[in-house]
Amino acid sequence: MVLVTTETISGQNLQTLGLVTGSTVQSKNAFKDMGAGFKSMVGGELGSYNKMLNEARDLAIQRMIQQAQQMGADAIVAVRFSSSSVMQGAAEILVTGTAVKFA
């Protein structure tokens, strides 16, 4: 599946199929959350949260791709990500795009 942030794909005529989304809510366990809290006091990268968000992003993308495949899409254009905190220590990752078919 081709994923692009642009609204077109160079050299392709596109037929719009519709909106596709993928999302997940992820959290870290309490011990890693405490460790990250200590790390934030002294500064530096929070490796366990980076890993969590990378995994969440990958899962959200896979869910969006599955939805696009069910629609018969060849690609997803205008891909956008957003994130939000749903509670302390938990974040939602949302990815959206437009499923298209090569015409």
* 1-17 core/surface letters (b: 16 or more CB in 10 A; e: else): eeeeeeeeeeeeebeeb
Q: What's residue 66's pLDDT?
A: 98
Over the stretch 15-38, which tens digit does the pLDDT of each residue have? 999 999 999 998 865 445 544 454
What single letter denotes the amino acid at residue 11?
A: G
Task: Tell me the C-alpha distance between 79 and 66, whole Å.
Answer: 15
Q: What is the mean pLDDT of the chain?
A: 87
* 26-54 core/surface letters (b: 16 or more CB in 10 A; e: else): bebeeebeeebeeeeeeeeebebbeebee
pTM: 0.83
Q: Give yes or no for residue 45 having a pLDDT over 90.
A: no
Over the stretch 65-88, which tens digit does the pLDDT of each residue have? 999 999 999 999 999 999 998 887
CB atoms within 10 A of CB 56: 21
**Where do the domains of the chain lie, and which CATH numbers do they carry?**
2-102 (3.30.110.70)
